[in-house]
Amino acid sequence: MGTLMFFSQKIGIDLGTANTLVFVPGRGVIINEPSVVAVSVDDNRILAVGNAARDMIGRTPESIMAYRPLRDGVIADYRVTEAMLKYFISNAGNWFRFIRPEVMVSVPAGVTSTERRAVIEATVHAGAKAAYVVKEPVLAAIGAGIPINEAAGHMVIDIGGGTTDVAVISLGGIVASTSVKVAGNKLDQAIAEYIKRNFNLAIGDRTAEEVKIAIGSAVEITEDEAMEVKGRDLLSGLPRTIKISSSAITQALEEALAEILRAIKTVLHETPPELSADIMDRGIVMTGGGSLLRNLDVLIEREIGIPAHLAEDALLCVAKGTGIALEHLDIYKRSIMSKR
């Protein structure tokens, strides 16, 4: 048993709409897989989770269904989410078969108390000894290295797959926040819609995401880039390839990004003047995969008038935050247990 005690008995889970990351203190992020589960339609059996299930999306026969059990950062299918958590907890290390770990899970800032309870129950049923849920912006701020417990205002924008959380944090708690259901997935859909409308071509979400990563930009770039996109012609029903430019993608993303900007403005309106002054000085910290969109910081600074910068390891901030908060539970107890 002595060897087992060497391992941390705590796990942090960044339970995202698009991806789930598992963090073990002392070892870092050990799992980063899509939040996808493949279920057999006939007997409702869970066939695959994570990478294996993602590869099945859009390619399954009628007897198998591959889908994401979280919608907009919230549990849409309880049983499947529980199975997914069980998979991630057991894959975090063999020793968790002997020790029930303490698990910390991230939830969107706008989560209701019912949704919060659902996450705790699912986590405990999946094998946790104790489950803590913490709001994503708080974890993102901790993971980005922001000293959240000091008496100063910090603004964090966490853009994930399903939700964008905007929050102002001071003295370890959220002073003002909002969650909008516009994030990475919505940006992909906006690209797919634009290509469908303007080119009569149907493309899948994964292709749209590839386009966004390759040539997407939040503001027009001087050197226009282009790429070839393959899809299905909506008129003939046959495969077809088109060439699309980055300026077209900027246009496609305009509306969705405007909604994220509105969310930032809403939170700034609710922020006490003392903290607003701090934010002007310190700027806005961007975390999450969605914030990796090229020139998003430029757009925010242009429209909001406050400098924005991308956190280091933006994709991993929430997961790293769970790890730091787990190692210093006593310090973060208040922000973690706050029922707001």
Domains in the chain: ranges and CATH: 2-37+71-139+317-337 (3.30.420.40), 146-182+257-314 (3.30.420.40), 184-252 (3.90.640.10)
**Least confidently predicted of 83-92, 115-124, 135-144, 285-294:** 83-92
Minimum mean pLDDT among 18-32, 45-59, 90-104: which range?
Answer: 90-104
Highest mean pLDDT of the ranges 31-40, 94-103, 188-197: 188-197
Cβ atoms 85, 69 nearer than 8 A? no
Q: What is the pLDDT, as a whole number, of residue 5?
A: 43
Q: What pLDDT is attached to residue 18?
A: 84
| Alpha carbons 186 and 205: distance in angstroms, whole number | 10
Strand 102-107 to strand 226-233: parallel, antiparallel, or no bridges (unpaired)? unpaired
Rounded to the nearest 5°, which phi and psi values hold at 180? -120, 145
Whole-number percent of the chain with pLDDT over 90: 48
Q: Supply the pLDDT for residue 296.
A: 96
Using a pLDDT cut of 70, give the percent of the chain over it: 92
Tokens of 265: 């403005």
Tell me the pLDDT band of 156, cut-offs 50, 70 and 90: very high
Confidence of residue 2 (pLDDT cuts 50, 70, 90): very low
Number of residues written out for the chain: 340
pLDDT of residue 3: 42
Statement: residue 313 has pLDDT above 70: yes
Q: Which two tokens stand for residue 41?
A: 């339609």
Give the lowest-confidence range in 20-34, 60-74, 221-235. 60-74
Q: Of 182, 201, 176, 193, nearest to 270 (Cα)?
A: 176
Whether residue 94 has pLDDT greater than 90 = no
- Whether pLDDT at 96 is above 80: no
Residue 165 predicted with pLDDT over 50: yes
* pLDDT tier at 4, thresholds 50, 70, 90: very low
8 A C-beta contact, residue 340 and residue 174: yes
Mean per-residue pLDDT of the chain: 87
Q: How confident is the model at residue 1 (pLDDT cuts 50, 70, 90)?
A: very low
User: What are residue 229's DSSP bridge partners?
Assistant: 242
Range name among 27-41, 75-89, 288-302, 321-335 with the lowest pLDDT average: 321-335
Residue pair 69/81 in contact by the 8 Å Cβ criterion: yes
Using CA atoms, how far residue 292 sits from 47, 128, 216, 238, in Å, is 32, 33, 10, 34
Nearest CA to 318 out of 293, 289, 340 is that of 289
Mean pLDDT of 167-179: 90
Per-residue confidence (pLDDT) for residue 151, from 0 to 100 = 87
pLDDT for res 335 = 58
| pTM score | 0.86
More confident residue, 48 or 287: 287
